Chain A
Amino acid sequence: MDVRAQVAMVFHLDKCIGCHTCSVACKNVWTDRPGAEYMWWNNVETKPGTGYPTRWEDQERYKGGWKVGKGGELGLRSQNKVDAFLKLFYNPNQPGLADYYEPWTYRYGDLFDAAGGDDQPTAVPISQITGEEMKIESGPNWDDDLSGSPLYAENDINLESLTDEERAGLFEIERISMMYLPRICNHCANPSCVASCPSGALYKRGEDGIVLIDQDKCRGWRACVSACPYKKIYYNWKTGKSEKCILCFPRLETGQAPACFHSCVGRIRYLGVLLYDADRVAEAGKVPNDALVESYRSCLLDPNDPDVRAAARMSGVSEEFIVAARSSPVWKYVMEWKLALPLHPEFRTFPMLFYVPPLMPIMGKIEGGIYEHDAKGLFGDFESARIPIQYLANLFAAGNRGIIEGVLKKLIAVRHFKRVQGHDDVADEYVKRLLREAQLTPEQAEGIYELTTIATVQDRFVMPPIQREEAMPAGCSAEECKGSCGLGRTESPERGG
């Protein structure tokens, strides 16, 4: 057993309001630079929808993640050790500018310099690449809130295995049924990006599992861009290097939560330590799709078990991390309550970002243009959820409906459990039955309620001191580092000739 610690994450989708504050916080801190304008290390997608870059989930096209080979071995979908060399010259699976968008700004000067006339002057959009006037034809959130649109939502790859009835239910109410999916790099336990890098520039930090790209080692071969199934690595067209979410490690190292976590208005984000058995990760990825979620869960180790703690110490995990792991909100959501699930586990990278799927039961129907509330009970029946179970299963459980049903049962049970405390429109017996069916104790239900609704910053972000000061010489002075691109480098990020 080789125990490793990972700074892991939970996003609670029931709470996400799709405001993009996280994306803007990240953009302002990290990617407001030439070559990085189009990068959204954090982005929020509307689901159903095609996402960013367009149809990133389509691995037939982008070839990201791992696949189980004929002999049962785990291999990269995008390359092997031989064709990796051919793909240096031209990578057929790399998304191009058209799959993202051409970044633009406006010529604001026009507003002041325009000749006098009868019309209002306008600021003309100009490309941030060429500086020339351009027509804006797509953008980072082009399909924001456009669930139901035939142009975008219909092309969502997760809809493919849905029945016509399920689709009809999804798009019934004025085409507005949708959920938001905020995404950052998952800092996977078995990252295909790391495995694909010809130069060995990508690595996982041993102490906290953050996945980084060494900008000095990167040679711009772009293998990682196609190998990451979540398309969370972006090629900087200006510097000729690839970049990705760094989980704000400079903030973590100074005891602050990452910018997107800190700024989250809906407080949907949780950060905490998970312990896992690194020896078993690759094996765990070889099981059939249906069993993947369970298989990955089985690699996570219980920090409350003294044996695990002893093993963690033996493997060099610091005492502070072990303590933090014991009060990790992520452990609670992922393992204790089994509410949070990995996004697209079938990509087999073992993502370390977990999502609590949203609960959206069908409460009524439109008949003759009138919306009637016709649901039985307080919250309706989760089986006729507005967002079909199959759709959620395609997103979070590699198609396994049972896992989603288990989660939704718990979410409904907790709602009833709290309702009965303040109102008398639900029967006690009914609530007990719901809890029993969801396999929750009242204490657990209370715990879920507390961490979901009234948790403080300290409860939501349980970060150990990362102790870089122990290992690193105190880098450069603040004056010297000022203005450098903030990726732990002191050389100015200039493009090579």
Chain B
Amino acid sequence: MIQSFLLVGLPYAAVLVCVLGSIWRFRSRRFSYSALSSQFLEDRQLLWGSGPWHVGIFLVLAGHALAFLMPSVWASLVSNRAVLIGVEVAGMGAAILAILGLSILTLRRLTNGRVQAVTTNVDLAILGILLVQVVLGLLTAVLHRWGASWSTGTAAPYLWSLATLRPEPALVADLPPLVQTHMALAWVLLLLVPFSRLVHLFSLPVLYVFRAPLVFVWANPRRFERATAFVQRIEARRYFLRASAGLAAGGSLLAAGTFEQIAQFFFGPRMSEKESAGLMEKKLARLEQNAAQKKLELERTR
């Protein structure tokens, strides 16, 4: 019972709370979205803590994401022993880096008076849980060797089963308790995202790359009404580009789907004669059943 909650209920609850909670916070308490930097108050320890932590956790999360998003690619990668060893070593290295950084950050939060002045209980809880979580991950890697490989048959399909709304907890039900705890804690972290500083993950300012250097905000509609043809042309062009980008994105998604269907039709896997005969037989049986049913109905109505 508890296990099925941890393996099915908790994940869905966590994702739901994370998504809805973050949206709620963004809509009603937008001011509270911030990385909450404390570099102003303390600078050296932060460099040696935040740097390694973020580098480490990025690498680790990138590994996790790759294994989940492209399971077949990942599986074929780690089937090569050299690659597998490389991946494991890199993963452990990144985890150690993250643990070092996180330890410094935690110590800093606990000992520096100025940083303490801006430390909330949630900050400490997040740091603690993250520390336990990364340590558990590292322990898994050490005690249950070759996780990069065995996870392809367990954790990855389990996550996919969750994502496709056909949960199969059996896939991971008999993994060791250490691994189970690691998974459960991950959901807890996700659950806490909207209520902690971790919302800064959603603030990564990607659009900065595409932005013009200066930002002007016109509160007054007069600008557009009276603006010269030149200004209007520029603004019209910007709207046009934005709309085209949207249309292009939608169009390419559609096209990709269509192409996939066409490709499936021509190049997709063919059925052997036996298989198509079997399929035909099934269809026939269903038709016969239908016909029998219809006959019965007809008789009844008469």
Contacts and interface: CB of A to CB of B under 8 A. Distances in A.
B41 A240 contact: no
Contacts of B120: 495, 497
A379 interface: no
Contacts of A222: 37, 39-40
A493 interface: yes
Interface stretch (B11-19, B64-72, B176-184, B215-223): B215-223
Interface string B35-69: 11111110100110011001000000000000000
A109 B299 CA distance: 100
A94 B214 contact: no
A495 B32 contact: yes
A316 B223 contact: yes
B211 interface: yes
Contacts of A197: 208, 215
Interface residues of B, number: 56
Given A204-B214, A314-B227, A491-B29, A97 B41 contact: yes
Contact of B30 (A89, A216, A468): A216
A219 interface: yes
A305 B51 CA distance: 57
A129 interface: yes
B122 to A, nearest CB: 4
A497 B40 contact: no
Contacts of B51: 89-90
B209 interface: yes
Contacts of B31: 215-216, 239, 241, 489, 491, 493-494, 496
Interface in A112-140: 129-132
Of B31, B209, B225, B231, most A-chain CB atoms within 10 Å: B31
B227 A203 contact: no
B214 A496 contact: no
A220 interface: yes
Contact of B41 (A2, A195, A218, A237): A237
Question: A-side binding surface: helix, strand, loop or mixed?
Answer: loop
A495 B33 CA distance: 9
Contact of A491 (B30, B47, B122): B30
B269 interface: no
A283 to B, nearest CB: 13
Given A90-B46, A90-B50, A129-B114, A235 B217 contact: no
Nearest to B194: A497
Contacts of A315: 223, 226-228, 231
Contacts of A235: 37, 40
Interface string A51-71: 000000000000000000000
A46 interface: no
A90 B38 CA distance: 10
Nearest to B48: A90
Interface string A73-107: 00000000100110011110010110000000000
A277 interface: no
Interface in B200-249: 200, 203, 205, 207-209, 211, 213-228, 230-231
Nearest to B222: A316
B20 interface: no
Interface in B173-205: 195-197, 199-200, 203, 205
A318 B222 contact: yes
Contacts of B199: 496
A130 B214 CA distance: 38
B34 A496 contact: yes
A429 to B, nearest CB: 52
Nearest to B120: A497
B33 A219 contact: yes
B219 A2 contact: no
A497 B29 CA distance: 11
Given A199-B205, A206-B218, A96 B35 contact: no
A96 B43 contact: yes
Contact of A240 (B37, B47, B218, B220): B37
Contacts of A178: none
B123 interface: yes
A313 B222 CA distance: 10
Interface string A307-323: 00001011110100000
Contacts of B33: 216, 219, 496
Contact of A94 (B39, B213, B223): B39
A342 B113 CA distance: 41
Contacts of A204: 214-217
A158 interface: no
A496 B39 contact: no
B217 A220 contact: no
A436 interface: no
A206 B205 contact: no
A97 B112 CA distance: 14
Nearest to A75: B213
A111 B143 CA distance: 63
Contacts of A90: 39, 46-47, 50-51
B116 interface: yes
B100 to A, nearest CB: 15
Contact of B207 (A200, A205, A316): A200
Nearest to A191: B214
A459 interface: no
Contact of B197 (A88, A205, A468, A496): A496
A467 interface: yes
B35 A219 contact: yes
Contacts of A218: 34
B127 to A, nearest CB: 13
Best-surrounded residue of B41, B51, B205, B218 (most CB of chain A within 10 A): B205
Interface in B87-123: 113-114, 116-118, 120, 122-123
Nearest to B43: A96
A237 to B, nearest CB: 5
Contact of A221 (B205, B219, B231): B205
Contact of B209 (A81, A89, A238, A471): A81
Contact of A496 (B36, B40, B116): B36
Given A218-B34, A471-B221, A97 B214 contact: no
Contacts of B211: 200
A198 interface: yes
Interface in A413-470: 467-468, 470
9 contacts: A91-B39, A94-B39, A96-B41, A200-B215, A206-B218, A216-B31, A237-B38, A496-B197, A497-B32
Given A131-B117, A220-B36, A240-B35, 8 more contacts: A81-B209, A200-B208, A204-B216, A237-B38, A240-B34, A314-B226, A316-B220, A468-B219
Enumerate the 8 nearest inter-chain pairs by beta-carbon distance, A residue then B residue, closest first: A496-B32, A198-B205, A206-B218, A240-B34, A316-B223, A195-B213, A471-B219, A220-B34
Interface of B: 29-41, 43, 46-47, 50-51, 54, 113-114, 116-118, 120, 122-123, 195-197, 199-200, 203, 205, 207-209, 211, 213-228, 230-231
